[in-house]
Amino acid sequence: MAIASVGKAATVSSQPTSTNTSAMAVVTTLFFMWGFLTCLNDILIPHLKAIFDLSYFQVMLVQLAFFMSYAVFAFPAGKVVEWIGYKRTMVVGLLIMAAGALCFIPAANAPSYPLFLGAEIVLAAGVTVLQVSANPFVSVLGPERTASSRLTLSQAFNSLGTTVAPYVGSILILSSAPLAIEKVRELSPSALQQYRLTEAATVKVPYIAIALALVLLAIAITLFKLPRIETTRDFRPAEGGKKDSIWNYPHLLLGAVAIFLYVGAEVSIGSFLVNYFSHDETGGMTEQNAGKLLSFYWGGAMVGRFIGSYVLSKVRPNRALGVVAIIACALVSISILSFGHLAVWSILLVGLFNSIMFPTIFTLGIAELGPITGEGSGLLVAAIVGGAILPLLEGRLADSIGIHHAFIIPAICYVYIAYYGFRGSRPTRTAVA
């Protein structure tokens, strides 16, 4: 997911009259990289579950560690931008990500699940720093009137990363067939340690390659002559009289809940699909083949963004949001109530209808906020922490009633999002005039 900047925007010495395409191309590669790394967690989750004999709740700590970083590191990253500028912050973010990728090596050598979680936190910290710096930078690489289209294009490459990651990860990380969990539990302590070392070793080559690519990108960004951004400033005008507050806008507060539930639903589905497709009642696939199918889920989101960019120019965004949420809920429900290919392809199709939800909710949430738009944006970005909380809850439910029916959680999330689209997103002016 590409995240909007938190109330900060950049200015250059003069407003550009055309898009700086070379700089745009360089920075857009960063969107691809963090999309790739975020989605690679969906392959890592079933792999770690098999290695360490984890419950669904325990293995969802991977997503908790990753997405909590948005809440923890976003605002400090904004301060770093103020201190050293956007270009240097992008370089710092890439280097932190590279360090996080290298942390997977000692985690695999141990092998230790807590060390894997620590590596996720470092990696996610770098992703957060990169997002806080790259998003606003793209917005000033051309005329103000085309800023939205530039960000949409960059986000499409972010979706390309989420589409490629499951296929590549399934080949490199899920290449060996793990032992059945009953067999693992029968191993002696020494044999179990050797088994875990062998299975964990499959993450080394991919993450070493990722670290190398990130370092090379950091060098390229350092050497490339990106447009100099001279200052950063808050665009909110000075207020007179009684101060307005974001808490006076119900459509913003309901939008924050919608963002929380949307991100939680999207991540929950993606995190469980490999294990879901491996069950006999759904697909009975190998983990590697299930991982390849995951590309259709994230690829649908990429295709949907291109389609949605046209549809939203013809249809009211709130109505479009309500419709796609109802369809997504119906598809999840079909998967819960069915088996085999129908269960597989109905849940994969949800990705297509997820595509426009985040940007549409975000736009509806900050509508008519005027001078406090920046504060409202910050609240919506903080709500992304739903990607940490809801997968954990679904994991607990999957341990209790089974993975098949645990998808009731994202189904309920889509019901609320449909409500927000049709009714909750209507601006209600209760704030100071």
Provide mean pLDDT across the span 138-155.
62
Whether the predicted pLDDT of 149 surpasses 80: no
Give the separation between CA 200 and CA 378, rounded to whole angstroms. 38
Interatomic CA distance for residues 59 and 399, integer angstroms: 11
Specify the DSSP class assigned to residue 225.
Answer: -
Instruction: List helix spans (H) across 9-109.
Output: 21-52, 56-59, 61-84, 86-102, 104-109
**176: closest CA among 155, 200, 207?**
200
Q: How confident is the model at residue 98 (pLDDT cuts 50, 70, 90)?
A: very high
Give the model confidence (pLDDT) of 416-425 as tens digits. Answer: 999 999 999 8
Interatomic CA distance for residues 340 and 343, integer angstroms: 6
Pairing state of beta strands 231-233 and 9-11? antiparallel
Closest Cα to residue 131, out of 36, 30, 22? 30
Cα–Cα distance measured from residue 134 to residue 138, given in angstroms and rounded to the nearest whole number: 6
- Per-residue pLDDT band for 12 (boundaries 50, 70, 90) equals very low
Higher pLDDT, 335 or 307: 335
Strand, helix or coil at 10?
A: strand
In the chain, what are the domain boundaries?
A: 1-235, 246-428
**How high is the pLDDT of residue 285?**
87
Q: For 60, which DSSP code?
A: T
Q: What is residue 315's three-state secondary structure?
A: coil
Contact 176, 47 (CB under 8 A): no
Domain 1-235 falls under CATH 1.10.1040.10 = no
The model's pLDDT over 322-352, given as tens digits with 9 standing for 90+, comes to: 999 999 999 999 999 999 899 999 999 999 9
Q: What mean pLDDT comes out for the span 123-146? A: 75
Q: What pLDDT does 1 receive?
A: 45
How far is CA 305 from its chain centroid? Answer: 15
Helices then strands (H, E): number in the chain? 19, 2
Given a cut of 80, whether residue 140 has pLDDT beyond it is no
pLDDT at 150: 65
Q: Which residue has the higher pLDDT, 39 or 329?
A: 329
Report how far residue 262's alpha carbon sits from residue 46's, in angstroms, rounded to the nearest whole number. 22
Q: How confident is the model at residue 13 (pLDDT cuts 50, 70, 90)?
A: very low
- Range in 143-152, 185-194, 322-331 the model is least confident about: 143-152
Predicted confidence at residue 4, as pLDDT, reads 44
Band (15; pLDDT cuts 50, 70, 90): low
Using 50, 70 and 90 to split pLDDT, how confident is the model at 10?
Answer: very low
Between the alpha carbon of residue 396 and those of residues 181, 194, 321, 400, 401, the distances in Å are 19, 29, 29, 7, 9
- Taking CB atoms within 8 Å and a gap of at least 24, the contacts of 369-373 are 369/246, 369/249, 369/252, 370/244, 371/236, 371/237, 371/239, 371/244, 372/236, 372/244, 372/245, 372/246, 373/7, 373/236
What gap in Å lies between CA 193 and CA 149, rounded to an integer?
51
CATH number of the structural domain 246-428: 1.20.1250.20
Average pLDDT, the chain: 83
Q: Which residue has the higher pLDDT, 13 or 54?
A: 54
Residue 140 corresponds to which tokens in the numbers above? Answer: 């000033």
At residue 54, the pLDDT reads 92
Name the E strands within 143-289.
Answer: 231-233
Question: Does the pLDDT of residue 145 top 60, yes or no?
Answer: no
For residue 110, give the 3-state DSSP assignment: coil
The whole model's pTM is what? 0.76
pLDDT surpasses 90 at 144:
no
User: Residue 62 corresponds to which tokens in the numbers above?
Assistant: 């991977």
Most confident segment among 118-122, 171-175, 289-293: 118-122
